[in-house]
Amino acid sequence: MRAAKLALLSLVAALVAFAANVKLYMKDGTHHLVREYEVKEDRVRFYSIERGDWEELPLEMADLTRTATEAAERKASLDKETALIASEDKAERELRREIARVPPEAGVYLVDGQALKPLTLAQSKIHTRKGRNILKALSPVPVITGKATLELDGEQSKYVVTGDRPEFYMRLATDERFGIIKLTPQKGVRIVERLTIIPVTKETVEEQDTVEIFRQQVDEGLYKIWPQNPLAPGEYAVVEFTEGKVNIQVWDFRLAKP
């Protein structure tokens, strides 16, 4: 971005220098490079860049239409490049402000107007026939057999969101997959994902109810994410995970009814 900006600045500087001079065209196709010119009755008076002095020539020799047309085109080109520079400068300033407003700590931050609200990392548990085991954040799950579920305690999150297309900033600690999923409330818990252990290979298959999202990389390890479509009221979570490893971090939230 910086290199492109410098290139545009150089181009604009060149255009400014070029636009400061005018080609005063003659009807025979030749031209004088002038700083300025004016029409006085039947004469054209101009300041010659080449000779550094004021000169005159008969009006009937000058092609003022071509001279004015080219000058206008040159000015339009300069105005366009100047506007582009101003637009890129504004976008860069806004990007710096956006990055600065997100805390440096890894985590998930809900956009609430001009404020950011951090979500708390939830404590996940694996539920098997032998009971529930606490899943430590981003650490492999103990060996389980058959089917299991990854759950959060309680049927509702304490973090309530009112907009149906909430926006979040997500600052990653490591390069992991991430997204938004829908949780399923069930008998005092919310199911994050269902797990199936494949016999022999012991491969773990994870089933999540994934929400389609837009994601925008704002900075290194910093992303802005939001649903592609309005969410229905219910339980959701922003998650970071390693696919197939049951290494998952969960930041839960509830979308309240209007």
**Burial readout 159-198 (b: 16 or more C-beta within 10 A, e: otherwise):** bebebeebbbbbbbeeebebbbbbbbbeeebbbbbebebe
Under 8 Å CB-to-CB from 222, ≥6 apart: which residues? 99, 102, 169, 170, 171, 172
- All structural domains of the chain, each given as residue ranges with its CATH number in brackets, are 2-101 (2.30.30.100), 107-255 (no CATH)
pLDDT tens sequence across 225-252:
999 999 999 999 999 988 767 778 999 9
- Per-10-residue mean pLDDT for the chain, 258 residues long? 46 48 91 90 91 92 91 84 74 71 89 88 81 46 66 92 91 89 93 82 82 91 93 94 81 89
The rounded distance, in Å, linking the Cα atoms of 152 and 237 is 11
Give the pLDDT score at 5.
Answer: 47
Give the pLDDT score at 131.
Answer: 53
235: its two tokens: 């339980």
If one counts every other C-beta atom within 10 angstroms of the C-beta of residue 152, the result is 20
216: its two tokens: 């925008």
Per the CB < 8 A criterion, the answer to whether 110 and 253 are in contact is yes
What pTM, to 2 d.p., does this model score?
A: 0.61
